[in-house]
Amino acid sequence: MARCDELARVSATPGAIERVYLSPEHARVNRLAAEWMRGIGMSPRQDAAGNQLGRIEPLGGDRDTPALMLGSHLDTVPDAGRFDGIVGVLMALEVVRLLRVGGEQGASGMQRAHVPLPFALEVVAFSDEEGTRFGKALLGSSAAAGQWNDAWWSLTDADGTTLREAFREFGLDPGRIGEAARRPEELVGYLEAHIEQGPELDERGESLAVVSSIASARRFQVVVEGEARHAGGTPYERRRDALLGASEAALAIERICRGEHHVIGTVGQLEAFPGAVNIVPGEARFSLDLRGEFDGTRDAVWSSISRELDEIMGGRRLRWRAREVHSAPAVFCAPLLQDVVREGILSTLPPGADDPAVIFSRAGHDGMAMSSVAEVGMLFLRNPDGISHHPDEAVSLGDVALGIRALAESVLQLAADRA
Ligand code: GLV
Ligand code: MN
Ligand code: MN
C-alpha cells in the first residue's frame, strides 16, 4: 500500500494522478518497478514497447523455461485513483516474494527454502492499458501479444506528437517494436489481479471474485458538422447547431444502451468549435466508448446508434462521421485459470465456504490483448462503492492481503496441475 502511495506521487499533474504512455512519469515508474523487481531476485528489463518486465527462473530452469506472467499496468487515466492497474502489479511482486521461486541466499550463502515450480515467473507492468494519451488503449500489451498495427504510428496526442515521435523521445526505437512480441510457447498463461471498478463485490459483501470474461469494447471519435454563425443575429430556424446535434446524440446513446442488457455506452469527451460564447457551434466532436458482454450485441447497438444519429443529424441539417479508434473483442478467461483462481480464493475462506463470485469484467484489461498469445485468468478485488477512474478509488488493506494469498495459491494450484 505504501508503494501505491509512492507511485501516486509520480504524476504529470501536481495534486492529482496522471501518468501516460511514453511520458517522463512512465520512465520513472518503470525504474521504480525495476528496482523492486531486483529486490526480490528478479531480472528486470524494459521491452521494446516500454513495458517493464521482471523474470525469475525456477530452480534448475533457464531463459527458455516457459513463464507464467503475472501483472497489470502502471499507466493511468487523467485525475486517476491510485489502484487501477497499479495494485495488480504490486500484488504480483508480492506473490513472487512470497514464493521465493529462485530460493534466497541465506546467511551461509546456501539457498534457503523455495517453492519448486515447473515454470518461470514474470511480472509485467504494462505501459498503456488506458489509451489516455493516444486514444488507442492496450498499446503496451498489444505489442507484447505481437498484435502491433503499423497504422498506429501516426496516432497523435493532444499536442500533435505522433506515437512514432513519442517512442523516439522516450528512447525507444520504433523499428524494433516487433522485439516486444512474445511467442505462445514462451508463456504458460497471463494472470492478473485488478480492482473490480464496479460495485458488485461491495454489494455482496465479498472480497474477491473469479473473472469469467472481459467485456468487448469499441471506441469512436464522432465529428458533427453544422455552420458557425452569429449567436444574436441567427434565428433558430436558420441555425445548424452542431453542439445541439451532439447533445441529442449523447442522450440517444444513453436511451439505446439502457434498453440493451449488458451493453453500456459513454460520451466522455464533448467539444464545440470554434468555442466562443457568441458563436453558434459550427462543429462538435465527441467520443463514444461502447462496451458489451458479447461482441454481437455491442455491434447491434452501434448499428442502432448509427441509424439514430442519421435521423438526429438529418433533422437538424447536420452532417456526421465517426472514426473508430479502438476495437477489442470480448475475451473469455481460460477455464483452467478460472479454476485455479477459484481454488486460490477458496484457500482464503473458511472450510466449507460457498464458491466465490464469478463476474464478468465490464472494464477493459491487458488480458484482452494478451489472450491472442496466452491463456488469460483474472482475480477481482472488492472496490468500495465501485468507484474507479476517480481519485476516491479505494481498496482495503485486508482485501489486498487476501488477494495476494489467493493469487499465490492460484500459482501453486497451476503448478500442481502442470507438474
Ligand atoms: C480501462 O480502465 C477501461 O476499461 O477503459
Ligand atoms: Mn482504468
Ligand atoms: Mn486497469
Q: What is the pLDDT of residues 102-113, one digit of tens each?
A: 665 555 544 444
The mean predicted confidence, pLDDT, of the chain is: 95
Contact 80, 17 (CB under 8 A): yes
Average the pLDDT over 146-164 and give the result: 97
Q: Which residues contact 308 (CB under 8 A, 6 or more apart)?
A: 249, 252, 256
Cα(84) to ligand 3 centroid in Å equals: 5
Q: What is the phi/psi pair of residue 331, to 5°?
A: -125, 130
Nearest ligand 1 atom, CA 129:
1
**Which residues are near ligand 1 (CB < 6 Å)?**
130, 363-364
Q: What is the mean pLDDT of residues 43-61?
A: 94
Query: How many A from CA of 226 to the centre of ligand 1?
Result: 32
List all residues 6 or more positions away from 284 whose beta carbon is below 8 Å from its beta carbon: 223, 224, 226, 242, 243, 245, 246, 270, 271, 272, 273
Q: How far is the CA of 339 from the centre of ligand 3 (A)?
A: 22
For the CA of 389, the nearest atom of ligand 1: 2
Q: Any idea which architecture 216-328 has in CATH?
A: 2-Layer Sandwich (3.30)
Q: Which residue owns the Cα nearest ligand 1 atom 5?
A: 364
> Domain 2-215+330-418: which topology?
Aminopeptidase (3.40.630)
**144 pLDDT above the threshold of 50:** yes
Give per-residue pLDDT as tens, 264-315: 999 999 999 999 999 999 999 999 999 999 999 999 999 999 999 999 999 9
Query: What was the pLDDT predicted at 107?
Result: 52
Output the CA 302–ligand 1 centroid distance in Å: 19
311 phi-psi bin (left φ>0, alpha ψ -120 to 50, beta other): alpha
- Residue 191: other Cβ atoms inside 10 A: 30
Q: Which atom of ligand 1 is nearest to the CA of 85?
A: 2
Q: Which atom of ligand 1 is nearest to the CA of 364?
A: 4
Q: Which ligand is nearest to the CA of 77?
A: 2
Ligand positioned closest to the Cα atom of 289: 1
Same fold, 2-215+330-418 and 216-328: no
User: In the predicted model, what is the mean pLDDT of residues 36-58?
Assistant: 96
In the chain, the amino acid numbered 292 is G
Q: Which helix (H) or strand (E) holds 189?
A: strand 187-195
CA–CA gap between residue 89 and residue 96 (Å, rounded): 11
Q: How confident is the model at residue 179 (pLDDT cuts 50, 70, 90)?
A: very high
What is the domain partition of the chain in residue ranges?
A: 2-215+330-418, 216-328
Residue 114's contacts (CB-CB under 8 Å, 6 or more residues apart) are 59, 99, 100, 101, 102, 103, 104
Handedness of CA 123, 136, 293, 197 (dihedral sign): positive
Ligand of minimum distance to the alpha carbon of 362: 1
CA 35 to centroid of ligand 1, rounded, Å: 27
The residue among 294, 269, 297, 272 whose CA lies nearest residue 282 is 272
274 preceded by a cis bond (ω within 30 of 0): yes
Give CA–CA dist 286/63, Å, rounded: 47
Q: For a substitution probing ligand 1, which of 77, 325, 327 has the most ligand atoms within 8 Å of its CB?
A: 77
How many angstroms separate the CA atoms of 255 and 267, rounded? 13
- In one letter, which amino acid is 267? V
Best residue among 130, 219, 266, 390 to mutate for probing ligand 1's pocket (most ligand atoms within 8 Å of CB) is 130
Mean pLDDT of 142-169: 97
All three cell numbers of 371, joined, read: 489472450
| 84 Cα to the center of ligand 2, angstroms | 6
Mean pLDDT of 211-228: 97
pLDDT in tens, 327-380: 989 999 999 999 999 999 999 999 999 999 999 999 999 999 999 999 999 999
Radius of gyration of the chain (CA): 23
Q: What is the DSSP letter of 383?
A: -
Question: Ligand 1 pocket: which of 197, 218, 288, 387 to mutate (most atoms <8 Å of CB)?
Answer: 197
Atom 3 in ligand 1: residue holding the nearest Cα: 364
